[in-house]
Structure 1
Amino acid sequence: MTQRSQRFQETSRPTPPTPQEQQDIESLTAIIPGTSPETALNALRRNNGNLDKAASALLDPPEDQGTFPLLNQPEINVSGPRTPPPSKPERGSPIIDLTNEDDPELSRALQASMEDQGPHFGPSTRAPDPNWAVVPSNVPVNTTVSHDDQSLSRAIEASLTYNQTADSYDELPLEERVRKGNWSVYVVLSCLTLPNNCRSPVALRPTQSSHVYAALLLHALYFVPQVRHSVANFRVDESDLEDGVMPDNIHLVWSVLEAFVNMDIALLTELNVDQILEAINTDHWSNAAETPGNLSIRFYTNLAWRIESTLRGFTSTTLLGFRYGIRDCNPKINPFDQLQDTCAVKVDIRGTPEANDLLSCLSSDMFLDGGASNGRQQVIYEPSDVVAFHLVRENMPSSTGAKTERHLFGFPEHLYLDQFLKDNAELASQKRNQQRDLHTRIQNLVKKREGLTSLNGRDVLQDLRSSLHYYEHVAEHNDDANRRSEIQSTATRLRRILARIESEIQTIDTTIAKFQADAAKAFDCKELQLHRYDLRVVLVHDGLYGRNHLYSYVKQNGEWWKTVDYTVTKVPLEAVLSDAVGLHLNAGPFFLIYSRALSPEEENEKPSWPDTLKNSVKHNNHTFLGTLPPEVAQKVADPNSPPTTPYRAGTPSEMESVSSSIVEPPGSRQDTMDDAP
């Protein structure tokens, strides 16, 4: 080895990582298994030390990433820009010549435009080179970051900052536990009578972060009007007790009722629900590899069926569970032999463009043999007031190691279940066949459009425009009359060919838009719009593990609220329907709850809670106000009427469903209270 080559190898060897780089390398190798320190260092230096961009590059590497020249390599002086701007073609470069009269003009022009020609003339399509910038490169540029990039950036940032050991149950100071809302005013009003719907929602919190998913589901059920009112009407009498003790299911529903009363009346902004979750035998979310959706469906199914069986007799309709089965045209098969009961529908999200929304996925899953023509499809025999959807992403392609475009999964604010009911099966099949035919015609038009605009991976229109630009602005005739005529004739024919293709593409685009609109409105008929269901709850997972990585959206009195642990904030509907969190981590919305549409008066109707439980919560409110610092307590107005006097405990329960160790010291339930004036 020569001394020169030896010196080059020594100088080109990468320098050791700096302390900051070493810390970033450890973070990257921790969140992206299988990444070597050398690869992580290379990614960091390729992205100028930007940790988010380096992680994004490792998760989604370019097809031709190559290697990045590391620090302290010998500098190579290069004079002039590396990629000069387009100019006139060099002498001897191949030029498209469409003056040959032997072939038909359209095929000749298309074929010539697709040939590997060398230089193209017209507006440049290459990436900008900073060496040729007209303005200084340090001038800030206003760019718009896509939802996908924002989602990935937030997820990576959260994964880098998350500390599992610090994911603990933090209790807020007493003065911060006062429930927020228009009713909690900082002025003393002795005769305040504001409606309960002015209040912000109360958060339900478990001590263990592994039970967060269950607390969110229990919390969510309160915001389903049918569930809230059915549970509010539940009563227990002596005949329901077994030797003075509540049976398990009755005790469970009574505990849910206690939680709901607290969510309505309590002055606290958060409530602990450890005991009620233990009563339901809640599974633990043990690690990041476990999908919270699978745990949620087991918890919801267990809770829903126990509530359903206990509340029979307190509601005139089927509340949470419904019956479905196979509609088969074979008269020898008794469909009632194949009926099943469920309270939640599994929705398989594959991430394909044609089935990336709730209704499309449901339609594709209803037919057992891939089509409606054979008559075998699953239908709902007895619909319920509430229907839940468990969104599963097990069959979605992984984005790690390859460029994979992800799209938001869509779900509507309102949906009609009529097309899935047994009584509408034939009409729905006809509409679905029409929709399928329109989609097939759309696909054929898309293929036709692709045939007009691309050939052998080349953009036909771009090449034709480049050729036209050449003959109109670059080609020289050198005062040769024949050459001038030839150039003008070729340009005229190119314009005609280009106009013909663009006109046909415009016709195709117009037809596709019409077919898409017709397909979207295929079920817009009154016969299939009798059973409207409204979105009530959305549970979301951002793809990471921990207390703050699961949250919910719930609807209360026409407004949407987001609950993350103990933080409750108001959000617009758009935020609920377009939340892109978890998009690149195979996560996102995983549980939806819809219920029958109600009038605003029905939705906002005040629940008929048992007096015993109302008095218990009011008593706790009074005790809680007594524990607050005087300067805080005097600014809080309680809108609830005082409890009855003397205070009497309600139906005995073996345990409290909502922890009140803070607001109700031992023995306080025996205290008597006077009516307020």
Structure 2
Amino acid sequence: MHLSPEAAARAAAKEAERQPLPPHEAKEWVSAKETEDGKMLAEITGTEFEHALSMLRKHDGNMDKAADSILSGASASAPVEMEQGRGRTREELESIANIRQDFAFMFPTPPNHTDDSGGARGRARSADRVIDLTGEDSPPAADTRFRATTRSPDPAWQMVRTNAPAAVAKSEDDQLKEVMQASLHDFVAEELDTVPDDEVVLREDGRPVALRADVPGKAYAALVIQCLFNVPQVRQRCSRLHLNLVDGKIPKAGDEWAMWSLIEMFTALDVGVVTVFTDEPVLDAWGAPMLAQGDSVGQLSKLFLAEVALGVQSDLDNQGVEQVPVVNKLFHFKHCKIHSPATGPPQQISELDTGHVVTIDTNPESPPNELVARLSQTLNTYHDDGSSDHQLIQEPSEMVTFHINVNPLSSTTGGPSPEPFVFPKSIYMDQFLAENLDLANETRASQRQIQNDLEVLRAKKQTITRFEVCFVFGVFILLSLADCDVFEDLRGGIDYYENIALSDTPERLAQLKTTATKLKNILRKFEAEVAEIDEQIASLQTELDGLFDNPELQCHPYDLRSVLVHTGLPGRKHIYSYVHDKGVWWKIVDYTVTEVSEEVVLSDPAGLHLGAGPYMLMYSRRQSDAKLREPVSWPPGFIVRFSFFLLLLLLLSSNV
């Protein structure tokens, strides 16, 4: 029978394993094994290596008995019989048992022995026997001897814990479900939360008062009321409203009750002496619905704001507050749709309508994600035939609110990172007024032309500076696609021809210098072209940025007053607001009020990767600093209640 070389080698190795080791190899193996066992025994028992080795030799390599002897305090010279017959205390037995349990895998397991004696005598002897954890009463088991092997170590036979729980891989969906479930648990836990007593303190530093709903499901409505109060025009005009009595009494239901509760809360937020108010009547009076699971915080806030704006504007109109002097309405602006043909005058194609909130659809994956650009796209539509349609404002209001509706992300993995929604601290509404339609259209036409020129220049620069290299297998199968830098490759080639390439002959050296010179000329030419393109791009970008810096389009400035933000998670602590008061920005989260910078307000990334973020922006017409700091007059009864009574209550509670 003929064997291959590999089969013959394996057969020879197996045959070698069956043969006993030569005497000198066996002696070396026993010595190494004894040293290894001695070190292990010394480490386990905490004794010196020499003592452990002598005890191991005394018991013929039995680590079990050697460990017992060391722990019992026996010496290496004492007879084995005397050591085995020595009685042990309970503490010693427990120590030995613990060592056996912790290092059971290092000791041989003694075989089980059955008592062969029959009858009552045998059973009595079994019943009287004391359980010995040391196993010394059992006859010594025959020691197993091993020999060295010539096999290579198998990585499959590694020492691993057999009682360790197996790690179960979790998919991204499972992990996302766990995060959502934990968030829902937090949301449920917040249903029972209360404001700590030490948080209700005297108001300091002129910071705003936090308005907190009694239940988390109405926290969004409390934020809307809070943000409305921080709009100067809202405070100024609502303070001039006259509250009506019903049958000579304070109303407890209906529209009158809603207006009473709102003015009462505005008074508390203005002259209150404590840092937080928890109030439910004002939210109930205006019919604020509970935020249920799956509801849109922004959409529900928009509907609640519509109720408040309609009620307040109705009272302002009925009482003639905005007639003397003649001013724009607080909430409501009038708008219509206008069609501008390619030739001829514009035509109004819809009746005037009233609005107070403008909805802006955004997409973090589709730039530009900026308020003015998105607003222009929403209100203006340009057709290929040169005509256009516009939603324009005929009569502006003192306040305008933008509802930011964020479209869901198309995918959770891959693709470019989502862009945050950007909004300015001031906005000019002139380009969206019907009276400026022609000027605004001319400006937007210039804007589109400059944007097209910029795209052409950037594409030209891309062609010069970048190129793609395809690596294919065969003819049709594409393996990889590499985007390369032209300048980097040219510099690398120049360096190769000047410093790396072999130049062993004068002819070869001259050829290398010629090639390097050509590459340098090409590089200088490309660099000059790119520099010229960069200058053109910078010039066009400057012109583009200043297109609307036209005095004729800057007559209606509106400043940012409040921002409402949602992180994308449930719970009252995951919706908060930024409010501007007396030149300072404040962040209000639940019952805490913190001063922040303007940069934080304009660049808060919260909710970006969860399809959330800022969902409502409140702007109002710009006013002078003197006008902003003018005090307003609230009903005297409310002032007394929220200034003196609460202060007296705090003083009394502090003296108790």
TM-score (normalised: structure 1): 0.66
CA distance 1:16–1:452, change in 2 (3 Å): farther
Q: Secondary structure at the match of 2:427?
A: strand
1:658-673 alignment runs, 5 A limit: none
Between 1:202-211 and 1:329-338, the stretch displaced more is 329-338
CA distance 1:465–1:8, change in 2 (3 Å): same
| Structure 2 residues not aligned, in runs of 5+ | 1-9, 11-150, 469-482
CA distance 1:531–1:10, change in 2 (3 Å): farther
**Residues 1:257 and 2:280 are matched in the alignment:** no
User: Which residue pairs with 1:432 in the alignment?
Assistant: 444
CA distance 1:173–1:249, change in 2 (3 Å): same
Match of 1:466 among 463, 477, 492: 492
- Flag the structure with higher strand content: 2
Q: Secondary structure at the match of 1:589?
A: strand
CA distance 1:397–1:373, change in 2 (3 Å): farther
8 Å contact from structure 1 (residues 233, 608) kept in 2: yes
Structure 1 residue 427 displacement after superposition:
0.1
CA distance 1:175–1:579, change in 2 (3 Å): closer
Structure 1 residue 521 displacement after superposition:
0.8
CA deviation digits over 1:250-304, x for unaligned, max 9?
32222111001001112221111212111222122222x4321111111111211
Match of 2:374 among 325, 345, 361: 361
Match of 1:536 among 522, 540, 561: 561
**Residues 1:226 and 2:233 are matched in the alignment:** yes
Structure 1 residue 385 displacement after superposition:
0.2
CA deviation digits over 1:151-177, x for unaligned, max 9?
xxxxx8997797233213533454531
Q: For 1:468, give the aligned amino acid.
A: I
1:50-89 alignment runs, 5 A limit: none
State the distance in 2 between where 1:476 and 1:580 align.
Answer: 55
Q: Secondary structure at the match of 2:193?
A: coil
User: Which residue pairs with 1:674 in the alignment?
Assistant: none
User: Which residue pairs with 1:192 in the alignment?
Assistant: none
8 Å contact from structure 1 (residues 159, 544) kept in 2: no
Q: Secondary structure at the match of 1:410?
A: coil
User: Which residue pairs with 2:333 in the alignment?
Assistant: 322
CA deviation digits over 1:367-420, x for unaligned, max 9?
2345794142111111000000011111x5434022331222111111100000
CA distance 1:218–1:353, change in 2 (3 Å): same
User: Which residue pairs with 2:193 in the alignment?
Assistant: 170
8 Å contact from structure 1 (residues 323, 380) kept in 2: yes
Q: Secondary structure at the match of 2:508?
A: helix
User: Which residue pairs with 2:176 in the alignment?
Assistant: 32
Identity %: 32
8 Å contact from structure 1 (residues 542, 581) kept in 2: yes
**Residues 1:181 and 2:204 are matched in the alignment:** yes
Q: For 1:218, give the aligned amino acid.
A: I
State the distance in 2 between where 1:12 and 1:292 align.
Answer: 55
Q: For 1:382, give the aligned amino acid.
A: E
1:564-583 alignment runs, 5 A limit: 564-583=589-608
Q: Secondary structure at the match of 2:455?
A: helix
Match of 1:601 among 626, 646, 651: 626
Q: For 1:587, give the aligned amino acid.
A: A
State the distance in 2 between where 1:15 and 1:489 align.
Answer: 71
Q: Secondary structure at the match of 1:328?
A: strand
State the distance in 1 between where 2:654 and 2:252 align.
Answer: 39
8 Å contact from structure 1 (residues 559, 570) kept in 2: yes
1:474-623 alignment runs, 5 A limit: 474-478=500-504, 480-623=505-648
Structure 1 residue 550 displacement after superposition:
0.5
User: Which residue pairs with 2:216 in the alignment?
Assistant: 209
Aligned length: 486
State the distance in 1 between where 2:587 and 2:170 align.
Answer: 34
8 Å contact from structure 2 (residues 243, 259) kept in 1: no
User: Which residue pairs with 2:313 in the alignment?
Assistant: 308
TM-score (normalised: structure 2): 0.68
CA distance 1:508–1:413, change in 2 (3 Å): same
CA distance 1:321–1:354, change in 2 (3 Å): same
| Structure 1 residues not aligned, in runs of 5+ | 36-155, 183-198, 632-677
CA distance 1:181–1:515, change in 2 (3 Å): same
Between 1:346-355 and 1:574-583, the stretch displaced more is 346-355
8 Å contact from structure 1 (residues 438, 515) kept in 2: yes
Q: Rg larger in 1 or in 2?
A: 2
CA distance 1:422–1:481, change in 2 (3 Å): same
Q: For 1:165, give the aligned amino acid.
A: V
State the distance in 1 between where 2:370 and 2:519 align.
Answer: 43
Structure 1 residue 487 displacement after superposition:
0.6
Q: For 1:527, give the aligned amino acid.
A: E
- Flag the structure with higher helix content: 2
8 Å contact from structure 1 (residues 399, 584) kept in 2: no
8 Å contact from structure 1 (residues 250, 310) kept in 2: no
Q: For 1:295, give the aligned amino acid.
A: L
User: Which residue pairs with 2:354 in the alignment?
Assistant: 341
**Residues 1:447 and 2:450 are matched in the alignment:** no
8 Å contact from structure 2 (residues 261, 285) kept in 1: no
Structure possessing the higher relative contact order (Cα contacts under 8 Å, 6 or more residues apart) = 1
Q: Secondary structure at the match of 2:350?
A: helix
Q: Secondary structure at the match of 1:426?
A: helix
State the distance in 2 between where 1:359 and 1:15 align.
Answer: 64
CA distance 1:282–1:13, change in 2 (3 Å): farther
CA deviation digits over 1:212-260, x for unaligned, max 9?
111111100110000011111111245x879985773332222111001
User: Which residue pairs with 2:47 in the alignment?
Assistant: none
User: Which residue pairs with 1:290 in the alignment?
Assistant: 295
User: Which residue pairs with 2:40 in the alignment?
Assistant: none
